[in-house]
């Protein structure tokens, strides 16, 4: 049962409470004939003959059209008959006649609530509370309406007052727990869930919500116990198995997690979303080939889903099943001939296989496609230049590198590649300045650039600078075996035999695994080789599945690749492990914003700001989110807050432009 269904049950229960809370109907005016019809309508209503009661009340109104009591009873009947338009019209008429009657506004709010016009319901309930401020139970429906309108602060405020006055009003507590859950205050949500479960211990929905809050707080063992209990009550609820599988995955009980995913598939074999979750689990655990098979099963259930085909192709690519991956990418290309991701991945596959001519063809097609869209992707052009360099098409590679440097003159990767190119084509003297510039601009792989620079000095026979280069290289990478051996050979050639022997001994003693996969992933991300980074991070996370830095890098890599669902899942994992990670909330908000999920984006940005109210970028993003929701006032406040924190910040010009736009 959904949260909304539960809350509507709360709504029905609370009507009984409100009816006995001091609100009384308006007295009927003393007209003999209309009173007769009115009394007849009341009796028919109580007897459950709703349509006949409507006729009786309408007869009464024919005699006294402005009788508020009759209009109120009729409005309530229309609500029960689900005729909400007539209910609203009738109750509005009653409110015009008796503007001080709180019951009319309660019923009017109910009509709006049933029609899912939550903001109007909120206004009506607020009016009732204004008239009856001491009647706490009126706040129950206001809290419900606020929750459904995603105004969780209002929901917490009003449902909290109900619970304070009526601590054993369990439905209100359950709703309050849901409201806290929605604002990511999982500890307070748990308090409400646990209180209710003391009296309704077999409530699966509450157990499930409790487990979700425990997951969010990284209380994984507790979450598993809660889910075990829920499943023991009802073993047919597929979401319980999916969530328990998620928890077991986090606890690295991978066999148990997989068993739950398989059972979920068995429960709902025709639901394409379940194999997708199972495949995502296999993806996370590095079982790429099996993941591709499960994505294929999901495709059988939903053959028109191009995203599933993309995931299948990508899994095959990660599992090094190149032929099958190429076939899947080409199949997706038939369905979507202008899909840039396809061209990019095909090029990457061939580049990884050193089949540079095929890679060049796909990079060129991708650039042609981007040119039509007035896009300029430096990474793609750099990859094309690299492949051209590998097939010794130095002239084309040089033109591409130089064009990129005009855009980003301090790009150390391009400077390095161009330096190597010049050395390879026989111009080592020209290569020196580019390689030195790559070093000065913090090239991500310093050992590579020092090795290239050392090779150049060997070619030009500059032993003085060669010695300096080896020393600088070993200064920044003292455990580099290749550097030690090359230096030793140089020393030997220069006649320093003993020192050369010492260097060889040091090299032999070094552990060749000293450069960790995590560090390599950082380098790959800096080079924008996101696919390479993904592979390294996933391998690293097999041994340290809760490493927050690695998880953040993994989420960022997914985000850069456009694999948004995986990025969101990974940021949520970070949050479950470290609930006060404001960067995870911020990046999560950016992804929601890209998918036009403005409410989720806003809540994520607000949480980031709650954790770190000095993080200016979150205010800028929050302002954009408010603009998308057409909330100009809050957008302005957010942008102005950004300028207060970082008056000369990165987004200054954008913020000023947005403020100007809001003032127009």
What sign does the CA torsion over 557, 563, 567, 570 have? negative
Please indicate whether the domains covering 3-201 and 580-663 agree at the CATH topology level: yes
List pLDDT tens digits, range 347-393: 999 999 999 999 999 999 999 999 888 887 899 999 999 999 999 99
List pLDDT tens digits, range 131-149: 988 888 788 888 888 988 8
Average pLDDT over residues 305-314: 93
> What's the rounded Cα separation, in Å, for the pair 41 and 57?
6
> pTM of the full predicted structure?
0.54
> Domain-by-domain residue ranges, the chain?
3-201, 580-663
Distances (CA, A) of 228 to 208, 232, 248: 10, 6, 11
Question: pLDDT band for position 546 (50/70/90)?
Answer: confident
Q: Yes or no: say if 141 and 11 are a contact pair by the CB < 8 Å rule.
A: yes
Average pLDDT over residues 609-635: 91
Q: Using N-to-C axis directions, what is the helix angle for 412-424 and 394-407, rounded to 10°?
A: 150
List pLDDT tens digits, range 583-596: 999 999 999 888 88
Using CB atoms within 10 A of its CB, is residue 546 exposed (0-12), middle (13-18) or buried (19+)? middle
Residue 223: predicted pLDDT: 96
Average pLDDT over residues 236-256: 94
Which positions ≥6 away from 212 have C-beta within 8 Å?
181, 223, 243
Residue 391: predicted pLDDT: 96
580-663: CATH, from 3.30.1330.10, 2.70.150.10, 2.60.450.10, 1.25.40.10: 1.25.40.10
Question: pLDDT band for position 324 (50/70/90)?
Answer: very high
> What's the rounded Cα separation, in Å, for the pair 288 and 526?
25
Average pLDDT over residues 457-467: 94
List pLDDT tens digits, range 95-129: 999 999 999 999 999 999 999 999 999 999 999 99
List pLDDT tens digits, range 154-196: 989 999 998 998 899 898 899 899 999 999 999 999 999 999 9
Average pLDDT over residues 20-34: 52
Please state the three-class secondary structure of 74-123 as a single string: HHHHHHHCCCHHHHHHHHHHHHHHCCCCHHHHHHHHHHHHHCCCHHHHHH
> What's the rounded Cα separation, in Å, for the pair 190 and 458?
68
Would you say residue 19 has pLDDT above 70? no
Would you say residue 273 has pLDDT above 70? yes
Would you say residue 83 has pLDDT above 90? yes
Would you say residue 269 has pLDDT above 50? yes
Would you say residue 17 has pLDDT above 50? no
Would you say residue 620 has pLDDT above 80? yes
What φ, ψ does residue 595 adopt, rounded to 5°?
A: -95, 15
Would you say residue 1 has pLDDT above 80? no
Cα 424 to chain centroid, rounded: 46
> What's the rounded Cα separation, in Å, for the pair 533 and 539?
10
Would you say residue 20 has pLDDT above 80? no
DSSP at 510: S
Residue burial 346-360, b: 16+ Cβ < 10 Å; e: rest: bbbbbbeeeebebbb
Residue 489: predicted pLDDT: 79
The CA-CA-CA angle for residues 369, 370, 373, to 5°, reads 100
Cα 49 to chain centroid, rounded: 51
Average pLDDT over residues 408-427: 94
Q: Could you give the percent of the chain with pLDDT greater than 90?
A: 64
Residue 32: predicted pLDDT: 54
Cα 306 to chain centroid, rounded: 21
> What's the rounded Cα separation, in Å, for the pair 169 and 14?
9
Would you say residue 611 has pLDDT above 50? yes
Average pLDDT over residues 246-260: 94
Question: pLDDT band for position 290 (50/70/90)?
Answer: very high
Q: Strands, E, within 387-511: which ranges?
A: none
Q: Yes or no: say if 292 and 312 are a contact pair by the CB < 8 Å rule.
A: yes
Residue 50: predicted pLDDT: 92
Q: Yes or no: say if 546 and 581 are a contact pair by the CB < 8 Å rule.
A: no
Residue 504: predicted pLDDT: 56
> What's the rounded Cα separation, in Å, for the pair 529 and 561?
10
Q: Which of the two residues, 621 and 33, has the higher pLDDT score?
A: 621
CATH number of the 3-201 domain: 1.25.40.10
Q: Which of the two residues, 370 and 30, has the higher pLDDT score?
A: 370
Q: Yes or no: say if 397 and 421 are a contact pair by the CB < 8 Å rule.
A: yes
Residue 9: predicted pLDDT: 42
Q: Which of the two residues, 525 and 336, has the higher pLDDT score?
A: 336
Average pLDDT score over the chain = 88
Provide the terminal-to-terminal Cα distance of the chain, rounded to the nearest Å. Answer: 47
List pLDDT tens digits, range 485-542: 788 778 878 888 668 756 755 765 564 433 335 655 665 676 577 887 788 788 778 8
């Amino acid at each position: 049962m959904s949260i909304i269904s539960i809350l509507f049950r709360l709504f029905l229960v609370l009507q009984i409470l409100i009816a006995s809370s001091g609100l009384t109907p308006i007295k009927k005016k003393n007209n003999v004939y209309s009173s007769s019809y009115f009394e007849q309508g009341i009796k028919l209503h109580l007897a459950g003959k709703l349509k006949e009661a409507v006729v009786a009340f309408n007869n009464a109104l024919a005699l006294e059209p402005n009788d508020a009591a009759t209009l109120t009873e009729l409005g309530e009947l229309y609500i029960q008959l689900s005729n909400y338009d007539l209910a609203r019209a009738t109750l509005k008429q009653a409110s015009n006649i008796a503007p001080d009657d709180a019951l009319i506004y309660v019923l009017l709010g109910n009509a709006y609530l049933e029609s899912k016009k939550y903001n109007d319901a909120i206004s009506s309930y607020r009016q009732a509370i204004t008239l009856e401020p001491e009647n706490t139970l009126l706040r129950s429906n206001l809290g419900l309406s606020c929750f459904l309108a995603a105004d969780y602060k209002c929901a917490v405020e009003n449902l909290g007052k109900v619970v304070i006055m009526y601590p054993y009003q369990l439905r209100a507590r359950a709703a309050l727990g849901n409201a806290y859950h929605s604002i990511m205050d999982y500890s307070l949500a748990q308090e409400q869930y646990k209180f209710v479960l003391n009296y309704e211990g077999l409530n699966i929905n509450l157990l499930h919500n409790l487990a979700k809050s425990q997951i969010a707080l990284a209380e994984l063992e507790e979450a598993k116990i809660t889910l075990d209990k829920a499943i023991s009550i009802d073993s047919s609820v597929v979401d319980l198995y999916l969530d328990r599988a998620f928890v077991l995955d986090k606890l690295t009980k991978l066999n148990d997690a997989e068993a739950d995913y398989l059972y979920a598939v068995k429960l709902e074999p025709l639901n394409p979303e379940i194999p997708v979750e199972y495949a995502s689990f296999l993806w996370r655990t590095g079982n790429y080939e099996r993941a591709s098979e499960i994505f294929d099963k999901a495709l059988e259930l939903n053959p028109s889903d191009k995203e599933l085909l993309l995931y299948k192709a990508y899994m095959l690519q990660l599992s090094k099943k190149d032929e099958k991956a190429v076939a899947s990418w080409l199949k997706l290309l038939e369905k979507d001939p202008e899909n840039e991701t396809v061209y990019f991945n095909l090029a990457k596959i061939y580049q990884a296989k050193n089949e540079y001519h095929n890679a060049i063809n796909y990079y060129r097609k991708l650039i042609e496609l981007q040119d039509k869209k007035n896009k300029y992707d430096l990474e793609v052009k750099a990859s094309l230049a690299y492949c051209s360099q590998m097939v010794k098409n130095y002239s084309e590679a040089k033109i591409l590198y130089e064009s990129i440097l005009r855009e980003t003159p301090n790009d150390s990767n391009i400077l390095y590649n161009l330096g190597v190119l010049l050395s390879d084509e026989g111009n080592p003297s020209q290569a020196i300045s580019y390689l030195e510039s790559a070093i000065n601009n913090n090239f991500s792989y310093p050992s590579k650039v020092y090795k290239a620079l050392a090779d150049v000095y060997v070619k030009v026979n500059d032993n003085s600078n060669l010695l300096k280069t080896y020393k600088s290289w070993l200064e920044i990478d003292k455990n580099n075996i290749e550097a030690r051996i090359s230096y030793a050979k140089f020393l030997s050639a220069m006649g320093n035999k003993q020192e050369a022997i010492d260097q060889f001994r040091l090299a032999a003693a070094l552990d060749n695994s000293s450069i960790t996969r995590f560090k390599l992933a950082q380098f790959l991300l800096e080079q924008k080789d996101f696919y390479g980074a993904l592979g390294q991070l996933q391998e690293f996370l097999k041994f340290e599945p809760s490493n927050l830095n690695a998880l953040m890098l993994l989420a960022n890599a997914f985000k850069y690749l456009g694999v948004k669902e995986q990025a969101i899942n990974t940021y949520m994992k970070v949050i479950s492990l470290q609930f006060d990670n404001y960067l995870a909330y911020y990046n999560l908000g950016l992804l929601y914003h890209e998918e036009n999920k403005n409410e989720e984006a806003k809540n994520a940005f607000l949480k980031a700001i709650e954790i770190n109210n000095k993080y200016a970028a979150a205010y800028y993003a929050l302002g954009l989110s408010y603009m998308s929701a057409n909330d100009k006032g809050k957008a302005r406040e957010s942008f102005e807050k950004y300028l207060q924190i970082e008056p000369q910040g990165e987004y200054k010009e954008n913020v000023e432009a947005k403020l100007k736009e809001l003032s127009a």
